Amino acid sequence: MTIKTQQNRYWQHLKVAFQYLVPQFALTRLAGWFAEKQWGAVTHLAIKAFSAKYKINLQEAKKSDAKQYASFNEFFIRPLKADARPINSDAQVASFPADGLISELGDITNQQLLQAKGHYFNLSGLLADDQELTSLFENGKFVTTYLSPRDYHRVHMPCDGVLRKMIYVPGDLFSVNPFLAQHIPNLFARNERVICYFDTPFGAMVQILVGATITASISTVWAGVINPPRAGKVQTWEYLSEGHSAVKLNKGEEMGAFRLGSTVINLFQQDRVEFLASLEAGSAVQMGEAMTAAPATQNSSI
């Protein structure tokens, strides 16, 4: 083993150890406090520095000048111009719910989902041991999309859907970047998350918003900010599928947002979708781009 390899391993171990030692919730509360402050020139300077560091294209945002944002959170969940993210118009195709990188995608086999090469996590654990949901998605498919700090942080619908259930799951706040996904076991089933279960033209579909270090809050368009406060127990809300109180969202419509970055996991039932053959771990994607193949495309490849 070379000295350089030894040094790399040392730093890798140090990065992982730091995740276990850092006061996750205190750091997250501090980040949330700062992000909500309206400090004028200080806030604008922070936004400019952040934009420069992560090469954020503010020209695609509705507000393209840092001085137009009263707080860092307002900037972080900035809406985009109407034409910035074209939505795939094929009703037989599901689209990506967010900008980011594909961490992993594929089949759910024996209730196991691939977290990173050589590392798996459990379907039932991910779904907070909800047996109804677990049975729906056994042998189904999943895709995990990682949102980096530079990405657009509103989350949209991959297809038309009617909300049936939302579950808040308390948990850890480990960072969810690709490096740590390779080194922290059961990462996505351990972290705080909001599970949203929809009826869709593709059958049952789950969209999970996973929390992380300094992800100060997760919100949905129908319930507002889910956390904070951070309840110390699993909380479940069920929704009617019909009537004036039903939550119905169209493909491409906004469904939630992260105040500071994280990950979205989508689950589909067995034999209901096929992901595009061009997609793989590490693929860069944008909200609204095709995620699945249309049935005719699928048939032509058999």
For the annotated catalytic residues, the residue numbers are: 99, 156, 262
263: its two tokens: 């990950």
Residue 133: half-sphere exposure toward Cβ, Cα within 13 Å = 27
Q: Which 3-state string (H, E, C) describes 191-202?
A: ECEEEEEEEECC
As a dihedral over the C-alpha atoms of residue 201, residue 241, residue 123, residue 77, rounded to 10 degrees, the angle is: 90
The residue among 255, 278, 290 whose CA lies nearest residue 85 is 290
CA angle 39, 42, 45 (to 5 degrees): 135
With tokens 């999309």, the residue in question is: 145
Outline where the chain has alpha helix (H).
Answer: 3-21, 24-36, 41-54, 72-76, 123-126, 131-137, 178-181, 187-190, 295-300
**Amino acid at residue number 60:** E
The answer to whether 43 and 71 are in contact (CB under 8 A) is yes
Task: Locate 126 and state its tokens.
Answer: 């991910």
Burial of 215-226, coded b for 16+ CB within 10 Å and e otherwise, reads bbbbbbebeeeb
